[in-house]
């Protein structure tokens, strides 16, 4: 149930019950649901006057878009559902990490996926808002390894790669800066700029992700 906040009045509006279209979004016992039990995955993305959620099911992946400005204007919030391409790994069973982001400041939503070798992005066409059928590679882990080697972390990284830890997690996305916070081997934090597709900062202090969101 979403609620719209009025910056003019400084108050919250009433809760509005939003029903997902039957037959399009179905609950899946296989879908990971870390934050709730309705199939929505990960953190919502707020951009362009709308809230977006990633919703993988047992048969496909979807992105839900709720226009919050429409709710504040007059009518009930308007929910739209778009299906991700067949190439999207909707049923990765925890083997891949997913995150909603934008490839440019204020741009259209993109779905980032970190698998065993790289981070890829499923993007939308600017003209039609349809999802491009194939992803683009944002950065390969080999490039991240070269970066860490260039800052003197090559030996430590080799030791970490021998451990059974999750290689890459997508922790956070900053709409303001277009930077993704990556956690690698539960040892490194890396700031990935999506526009340049390069690592722009790194740290070994994992406590940063608890308070340093202004990336």
138-193: per-residue pLDDT in tens?
999 999 999 999 999 989 988 888 776 568 999 999 998 999 999 998 889 999 99
Q: Do 127 and 158 have their domain in common?
A: yes
Query: How far is C-alpha 196 from the geometric centre of its chain's CA atoms?
Result: 18
DSSP string, 65-116: EEEHHHHHHSS--EEEEEEPPTTS-TT-TTSSEEEEEESSTT--EEEEEE-S
Shared domain for 34 and 67, answered yes or no, is: yes
Q: Does 88 fall in a domain?
A: no
Do residues 201 and 190 touch, judged by C-beta distance below 8 A? Answer: yes
Report which DSSP code applies to 176: T
What is the signed CA dihedral for 179, 185, 189, 194, rounded to 10 degrees?
-20
Domain span at 182: 93-215
pLDDT at 198: 96
| Burial classification of residue 214, based on how many CB atoms lie within 10 Å of its CB (0-12 exposed, 13-18 middle, 19 or more buried) | exposed
Instruction: Output the CA torsion sign for 133, 134, 139, 140.
Output: positive
Q: Pick the last residue of a domain from 63, 83, 103.
A: 83
Confirm whether 137 is domain-assigned: yes
User: How far apart are alpha carbons 136 and 120 in whole angstroms?
Assistant: 6
* Two structure tokens written together for 171: 């922790």
Mean per-residue pLDDT, 112-130: 89
pTM of the model: 0.81
Query: Do 139 and 198 have their domain in common?
Result: yes
- Which pLDDT score, from 0 to 100, does residue 151 have? 93
Specify the higher pLDDT residue, 150 or 15: 150
Higher pLDDT, 67 or 143: 143
Among the three residues 83, 117, 141, which one is the final residue of a domain in this structure?
83
Residue tagged 């009045």 (tokens): 9
Ranges 16-25, 47-56, 91-100: which has the least confidence: 16-25
Give CA angle at 38 (37, 41), nearest 5°: 85
**Structural domains of the chain, count:** 2
Is 108 in the same domain as 70?
Answer: no
pLDDT digits (tens, 9 = 90+) for 21-50: 454 554 444 444 444 444 566 689 998 888
Cα–Cα distance for residue pair 98/111, rounded to 1 Å: 7
Residue 9 has pLDDT above 80, yes or no: no
């Amino acid at each position: 149930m979403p609620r719209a906040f009025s910056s003019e009045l400084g108050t919250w509006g009433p809760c509005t019950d939003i029903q997902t279209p039957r037959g399009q979004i179905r609950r899946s016992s296989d879908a990971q649901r870390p934050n709730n039990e309705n199939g929505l995955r990960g953190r919502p993305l707020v951009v362009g006057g709308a809230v977006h959620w990633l919703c993988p099911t047992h048969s496909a992946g979807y992105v839900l878009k709720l226009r919050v400005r429409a709710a504040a204007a007059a009518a009930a919030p308007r929910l739209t559902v778009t299906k991700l391409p067949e190439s999207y790994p909707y049923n990765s069973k925890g083997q891949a990490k997913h995150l909603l982001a934008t490839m440019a400041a204020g741009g259209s939503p993109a779905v980032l996926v970190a698998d065993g070798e790289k981070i890829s992005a499923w993007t939308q066409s600017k003209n039609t808002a349809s999802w491009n059928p194939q992803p683009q590679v944002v950065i390969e882990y080999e490039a991240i390894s070269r970066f860490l080697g260039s800052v003197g972390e090559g030996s430590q990284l080799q030791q970490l790669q021998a451990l059974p830890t999750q290689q890459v997690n997508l922790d956070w996305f900053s709409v303001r800066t277009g930077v993704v916070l990556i956690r690698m081997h539960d040892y490194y934090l890396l700031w990935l700029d999506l526009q340049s597709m390069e690592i722009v900062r790194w740290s070994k202090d994992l406590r940063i992700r608890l308070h340093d969101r202004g990336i």
